[in-house]
Every structure is written in structure tokens, then in C-alpha cells.
Amino acid sequence: MPKFSQQIIERAQTEPLKLILPEGTDPRVLIAAANILQFKIASEVILLGDPKTLNEKAKMHGLNITNATIIDYANDKPKLEEFAHQYYELRKHKGMTEEQAVKEMTDDVFFGAKMLENGMGDAMVSGSYSPTSKTLRAAIFFGKPKIKTISGAMVMEVANRMLGSQGRLVFADCAVVPLPTAEQLADIAISSADTARRLLHVKPRVAMLSFSTYGSASSPDTERVVEALNIIGRYWPAADILYWCLCSPICTVIKTVF
């Protein structure tokens, strides 16, 4: 079976979409853009930044970004004003001023997210040098997420194909909510299951990881997991199983029977 990353690339090549890449001055972003263009992973690659600067950096690193669309967003006054006004209307009830809206919209991540909201792209990738908090704020303000708790997830692929879905597992939350409540844990579990369904094409099974194995220990932390299990239990079979037990049926039997 092809690696997960290769399968994702092949799926993107089958139905290529417009991709927005802010942070275009980062060489890693330019390398990614060149690869995406070369292998036709997106129908259009939109880089945000000064065209001269980006082209010079690309040339310096031996990269071909000739077919990329480069938008000099910082000098596009009509579009900046349009986006800033829309942003102001969205946030004025929170006390935002028009000056603040203009200032924030000059940020490439916010500008890219606003492009996405206005249908000028299908997807955006950011975070190469921007704080996670900025990327999340832009996604929340303009992406209009339909979920209550924003979280992060990672797809892990291991050599043992008996684990997860052919060796692929979704782990969350690895980056966003440091100390989730029981309700947030349940939200994260539900979102992660949906991620597994969409990316891995499987019927998800959810395990809540803690240092308690089927109630072997009790503390405020494990009680939060138990409460979260009660919230999500009607959707998927779940257990507050240790990761090692999750990956080792023998370990699970030993710990629960003895």
C-alpha cells in the first residue's frame, strides 16, 4: 500500500484546487510551491508577497515558481481597503476600529484567510513562521468553523499495519488546547473521528488515552476522561485505555483481567 502522504498527493492531483500560500518569503514555502507546481498537486498556487523579492529568493535557491500567481497584497490598496472594511464590519461589535482592521489585514496570513473566505482560493496553508495562534485566529474569524472546539490533529503512520487503519492513526489534540475540559475532550474526539473518516476513509474507533486502564486509577484528570467518554459513548465504542494497551491486545487482557 502506498504511503499515506503519497495517497493524499494522488487524491489532490485527481481534483486539483487553488492553494493560497502566505509567508512566501520563507524558503520552505517557496520549495513547497515549486514542488506543488512541478507535480501538479494544485490547479493554481497563489503566493503572497512582493513579486521581486519572492522571485529573487526562488532563483537563489534554484526553484522554478514561474507558473505561480504572486499577489503583492501589501501594495494592493483597493483590495486591502475592501478586506479591512469587511473585517471591521465583522468585528466592530467587539470594539475593533477601522484602523485596527487595516493594520491586521496587512498581515499575509489574515489577508490569505480573507481571500479564502471571499472564494479566491480553495485552501490555505500557513504556520511556517507564524505563531499557531495567528493561524487559528485567521481561521476562526474568516473560516467560520462549524465546530465548537478548535483542535489540532496528526496522522501517524507506523510500520505495524495491524495498528489503527493499516498502520495509520489520528492523534489529537497535539497543539491547541493544553488542558481541555470533559466537554472539550468530547468535541476533540468527535472532530478527530471525522478527520479519520475523511482522510483515512474508515469507520473511526475512538480511544481516550490516560494513565487509567478501564478505571484502574482515579483522579480529577481520569474523571474528566470518563466524563468525556460518557458524552461521546453513544457515537463510538471508546475506552480510557493506555496507548500501549490500545496497541497490544495481550496487555489489555492482562491489565483488565488480573
Q: What is the CATH number of the domain that holds 16?
A: 3.40.50.10950
Query: Both 158 and 202 in a single domain?
Result: yes
Distance CA 49, CA 55 (A): 10
Query: Both 35 and 139 in a single domain?
Result: yes
User: Residue 145 — φ and ψ, nearest 5°?
Assistant: -65, 145
Q: How does the average pLDDT of the chain come out, rounded?
A: 86
Query: Both 129 and 39 in a single domain?
Result: yes
Those residues with Cβ within 8 angstroms of residue 89's Cβ, 6 or more apart along the chain or in another chain = none
**Which of 105, 107, 99, 176 minimizes the C-alpha distance to 145?**
176
Distance CA 218, CA 128 (A): 40
Grade residue 22 by pLDDT with cuts at 50, 70 and 90: very high
| Of the residues 120, 143, 166, the one at which a domain ends | 143
- The reply to whether 184 falls in a domain is yes
Q: Please, are residues 6 and 31 in contact by the beta-carbon 8 Å criterion?
A: no
| Of the residues 143, 176, 198, the one at which a domain ends | 143
Average pLDDT score over residue span 226-237: 76
Query: Both 167 and 200 in a single domain?
Result: yes
Q: Please, are residues 99 and 87 in contact by the beta-carbon 8 Å criterion?
A: no
Whether 51 has a pLDDT exceeding 90, the answer reads yes
- The reply to whether 212 falls in a domain is yes
Query: Both 8 and 135 in a single domain?
Result: yes
> What pLDDT is attached to residue 214?
63
Average pLDDT score over residue span 120-142: 89
Percent of the chain with pLDDT over 70: 87
Query: Both 244 and 172 in a single domain?
Result: yes
Peptide bond into 173 cis (omega under 30): yes
> What pLDDT is attached to residue 243?
47
Whether 143 has a pLDDT exceeding 60, the answer reads yes
Query: Both 11 and 137 in a single domain?
Result: yes
- The reply to whether 55 falls in a domain is yes
- The reply to whether 106 falls in a domain is yes
> What pLDDT is attached to residue 28?
96
Whether 245 has a pLDDT exceeding 60, the answer reads no
pTM exceeds 0.85, yes or no: no
Grade residue 162 by pLDDT with cuts at 50, 70 and 90: confident
- List the single range of 15-29, 103-117, 189-203 with lowest mean pLDDT: 189-203
Domain that holds residue 207: 153-257
Asked whether the CA dihedral 219, 222, 224, 227 is positive or negative, the reply is negative
> What pLDDT is attached to residue 130?
87
Distance CA 31, CA 26 (A): 9
Whether 96 has a pLDDT exceeding 60, the answer reads yes
Query: Both 109 and 157 in a single domain?
Result: no
Query: Both 43 and 132 in a single domain?
Result: yes
Maximum average pLDDT range among 101-115, 145-159, 228-242: 101-115
Whether 249 has a pLDDT exceeding 60, the answer reads no
Query: Both 136 and 159 in a single domain?
Result: no
Those residues with Cβ within 8 angstroms of residue 254's Cβ, 6 or more apart along the chain or in another chain = none
> What pLDDT is attached to residue 62?
96
**Which of 154, 246, 135, 141 minimizes the C-alpha distance to 192?**
154
| Of the residues 108, 143, 178, the one at which a domain ends | 143
Query: Both 102 and 167 in a single domain?
Result: no
Q: Which helix (H) or strand (E) holds 48?
A: strand 44-48
Query: Both 134 and 184 in a single domain?
Result: no
Average pLDDT score over residue span 205-226: 76
Distance CA 139, CA 146 (A): 11
> What pLDDT is attached to residue 251?
54
> What pLDDT is attached to residue 244?
47
Q: Please, are residues 47 and 70 in contact by the beta-carbon 8 Å criterion?
A: yes
> What pLDDT is attached to residue 35?
96
| Number of domains making up the chain | 2
- The reply to whether 148 falls in a domain is no
Whether 44 has a pLDDT exceeding 90, the answer reads yes
> What pLDDT is attached to residue 41?
96
**Which of 21, 64, 22, 20 minimizes the C-alpha distance to 39?**
64
Average pLDDT score over residue span 70-75: 94
Average pLDDT score over residue span 5-30: 94
